[in-house]
Structure 1
Amino acid sequence: MSTSQSHHHLLRLVLSCRKITAQVTNPRTESIVAMASSSEQEFMAQYRAQLNRFPRTHSVWDARIASRVGEKLGFRLIEIGVSDVEIDLHEELSRPVHYRRMVMPLFDSVKRTGVGVSGAEKLESQ
């Protein structure tokens, strides 16, 4: 395999108070090759329960849901043959601290499935 083909795929997170979406893009074409989100069917019952809870919270997802989204993404990456991804460290460091704490389990879950996550170790030390 030539070095021009060994570029890491980019893992990006889209966060809001209602959902977390993780998408991996091909570095050459910038097209999405794999994606997982807390808005998938598996999470709907829990999502509805959080919305109807009193007192209401600002965030519907938490670190546990982020971990499960990471696991789903990791399995999808393995299935298509992607063994390494890279995060945009600058983008992740620009997030508020409470979001960074909640997304670390996502990166850990992706690693546990056997996919390398470049840059996550630097995020842990911040």
Structure 2
Amino acid sequence: MAATCYRHNHFLRLVLSCRKITAQVTNTSTSSIIAMASSSEQEFVAHYRAKLNRFPRSHHFWDAKIASRVGEKLGFRLREIGVNAVEIDVLEEQSRPLHYRMMVLPLFDSVKRVGVEVTGVDRLSGGLHP
């Protein structure tokens, strides 16, 4: 999708794996990352180690609570640099497996709670978002 299709100058993309969640915001005109937050940051190391050493071993090292905290950190970083609105790719979010979609919705909610508008979340279908 070309950058001209976005209504905002900032695009929020999530990179998900079973080990971590990373949220990065890019400036659509320069394609440069202007802010990011990840579950691999120092704050989450204790949680990660606890999941790693648990028996039976878990295959997912982050959850909705961690996603929410990552969203909060990202929201604060965006506000700090003066960004008050971002847009998500609704089709990309809808293409995710259901369990991932359920776990990332709190991230979007946290970004919004901090005061950064997240355009596109309201268009996520399937009744996953209030």
TM-score, normalised via structure 2 length: 0.90
Q: What amino acid is aligned across from residue 70 of structure 1 in structure 2?
A: G
Q: CA deviation at 1:56?
A: 1.2
What amino acid maps onto 1:14 in structure 2? V
Q: Which aligned segments of 4 or more residues in structure 1 are displaced greater than 2 angstroms?
A: none
Q: Work out the CA distance in 2 between the residues paired with 1:84 and 1:31.
A: 16
DSSP-derived class of the 1:99 partner? helix
Q: Tell me the equivalent position of 1:13.
A: 14
3-state secondary structure, aligned to 2:8: coil
- Equivalent position SS for 1:43: helix
2:106 and 2:57 map into 1 onto residues whose CA distance is: 24
SS state of the match for residue 61, structure 1?
coil
Q: Count how many residue pairs are aligned between Structure 1 and Structure 2.
A: 121
Unaligned runs of 5+ residues in structure 2 are: 1-6
TM-score (norm: length of structure 1)? 0.93
Q: Quick check: 2:71–2:111 contact (8 Å CA) kept in 1?
A: yes
Q: Percent identity?
A: 74
1:34-45 paired onto structure 2 within 5 Å: 34-45=35-46
Q: Does 1:120 align with 2:121?
A: yes
SS in structure 2 of the partner of residue 33 of structure 1? strand
- Aligned residue for 1:59, secondary structure, equals coil
Distance 2:121 2:114 in 1: 15
The answer for unaligned runs of 5 or more in structure 1 is 1-5
* Aligned position for 2:71: 70
Counterpart for residue 22 of structure 1:
23
1:107 equivalent to 2:108? Answer: yes
Counterpart position of 1:84: 85
* Deviation, structure 1 residue 8: 3.4
Residue 121 of structure 1, CA deviation: 1.0
Q: CA deviation at 1:7?
A: 2.8
Q: Could you say which residue in structure 2 is the equivalent of 1:60?
A: 61
Compute the displacement of 1:30 (Å): 0.6
Contact 2:9/2:29 (CA < 8 Å) preserved in 1? no
Kindly indicate whether residue 47 of structure 2 is the aligned counterpart of residue 46 of structure 1. Answer: yes
Give me the CA root mean square deviation: 1.2
